[in-house]
Amino acid sequence: MIRSDDFRAAPPRGSRQTAEAVTTPLFPTLEFEQALWKGGFRHIAGIDEAGRGALAGPVSAAAVILPNTPHLARTLRGVRDSKQMTPLQREAWAPRIKEIALAWGVGFASAEEIDSLGIVPATKLAVTRALDSLSLAPDYLITDYLLLPNCLLPQTALVKGDRRSLTVAAASVLAKTARDALMRELDGEYLGYGFAHHKGYGTPQHRAAIGQSGLCAIHRKSFAIKWNIRSTAVEHEVAGRIW
């Protein structure tokens, strides 16, 4: 059940839940969306990102607008937070989500933009690009606890949104599968790092490759410094520079 402090039919623009403990259902539901549909909103975009913690590659974001149709939750049963799904499950559901959605969009912010702006502003940039790519203008946003103060649309930053809102969960699947596909492509361009396998995250294999070959063009230099990843390439990059 939606609690009064969780959500209101038309909360102020830029509302955000407190980070108090929340109960998550086994599968995300449409309770938040249904409250908004009843409140007169028609095109509710769920938003989520992927790749914020990776050492290489872009951060991605997806926006999904689902239809207000009967049995939608049953039709999409199996869609959940992408981190709780296997790669095969995500790849199987992604085209189905795109088929059912009224509109969907994906955006990226590059490693260079992440180093220049910082990960949170770069994530918001990817979200903006995802929203701009929608074929249908949303009238409300539900995010996975990401506040977008520069966006004029009413919105709720929902704690554990990808585990509670089906629309946000659908966005998490599209953000993850789109980024994974891009990292597989980049694996063929930057050989020896194993991007197709670890997708740019800081696995032992990836760290060993950096130690052997240094950083490549899609590595996040600021992240390498933060996590004390040492290589000749890192030392050359930071010589005389403050991050």
CATH of domain 15-187: 3.30.420.10
Question: Is 142 in contact with 33 (CB distance < 8 Å)?
Answer: yes
Instruction: Tell me the pLDDT band of 225, cut-offs 50, 70 and 90.
Output: low
Kindly state the tokens that stand for 215.
Answer: 């950083």
> Mean of the per-residue pLDDT values for the chain?
88
The percent of residues above 70 in pLDDT, for the chain, comes to: 84
Q: Where are the domains of the chain?
A: 15-187, 191-238
- pLDDT tens, 53-64? 999 999 999 999
Average pLDDT over residues 26-34: 96
Q: In the predicted model, is pLDDT for residue 17 greater than 60?
A: no
Average pLDDT over residues 192-215: 95
pTM: 0.86
What is the predicted pLDDT for the residue at 231? Answer: 45
